[in-house]
Amino acid sequence: MVFNSAHRGARSLAPENTLAAIEKGFHLGAHLWETDISVTRDGALVLFHDNTLERTTDALTRFPGRKSYAISDFTLDELRQLDAGSWFVRTDPFDQIKSGAVSQEEAASFRGLTIPTLQEGLAFTASKNWPVNLEIKTLLGSAVGFPVVEKALSEVRQSGLAPELIFFSSFDHSLLDEIKEKAPEFDVQALIGDTGGPKNNWGDLAYDTYNANQDLITPDELRDIVAKGKRVNLWTVNDPARMKAFIEAGVTTLITDFPHILKTILTAV
């Protein structure tokens, strides 16, 4: 079975990493969803991808003149004041408003959406008994040294979610090793192939599961890794032809911005 993972929620159809995108991914039939854990200045865990706030919030106008717009330099209270939805309506990043896949009425409802906390995301996924892949972002700036693994494990356990519904991933493999040591009941997935690199670095294949950059792998290369007994999840696969090729090559999970398209393909396989 190939699993369908909604990347940052169904981010082609709603603002990424908002509760609206997460809910959309669930209702579109994704088997699980993927999100990003970032740390605020006051040690809260929130669902946010970028290191800085400019792309997907109105931080520049809400807090003009700040020396830094790194998420780690903002408190949770400050983040709660930001609009994390209007940028999607303004930029239509996947042309889904233009195409009519997102109605004008629905698009208008995205204005004013806020950055959710990890606790809020876990509460939703617990209510649906729906698995989630939690990517712990590499700690930068004022967040360096923060005990993010300890905090994340605490919040996951408080959520009541069964361990089999939680997957941890990170480009910082030391964080995964810490999880394996402190909480071996959770599955960890090594992220590789960060954008800008020339290839996926599989290292010594020390992990059971790898989340690899689909732009840096061919179906034949995927077959070779799978033949070595490894599970491979690929990000971010939006092209239907690539989806089909990787399915045939033995991929475990396809992480996609278009879970509804992948669902149609998987149904036909």
Q: Where are the domains of the chain?
A: 3-268
Q: What's the pLDDT at 35?
A: 99
Q: What's the pLDDT at 13?
A: 99
Q: Percent of the chain beyond pLDDT 90? A: 94
Closest CA to 187 of 162, 172, 209, 202: 209
Overall average pLDDT of the 110-134 stretch? 99
The CA distances from residue 69 to 55, 79, 85, 114, 228, in Å, are 10, 11, 17, 16, 43
Overall average pLDDT of the 65-79 stretch? 98
Confidence of residue 259 (pLDDT cuts 50, 70, 90): very high
pLDDT at 143 over 90: no
Find out whether 236 and 6 touch, Cβ atoms under 8 Å. Answer: no
Q: Tokens 């972002």 label which residue?
A: 137
Closest CA to 218 of 201, 205, 200: 200
Closest CA to 56 of 8, 109, 122: 8
pLDDT at 196 over 80: no
Q: What dotted CATH number matches 3-268? A: 3.20.20.190
Q: What's the pLDDT at 199?
A: 80
Q: What's the pLDDT at 145?
A: 92
Overall average pLDDT of the 4-28 stretch? 99
Average pLDDT, the chain: 97
Q: What's the pLDDT at 140?
A: 87
77-106 pLDDT, tens digit each: 999 999 999 999 999 999 999 999 999 999
Overall average pLDDT of the 127-149 stretch? 94
Q: What's the pLDDT at 195?
A: 67
Overall average pLDDT of the 111-129 stretch? 98
pLDDT at 189 over 90: yes
pLDDT at 125 over 80: yes
pLDDT at 67 over 90: yes
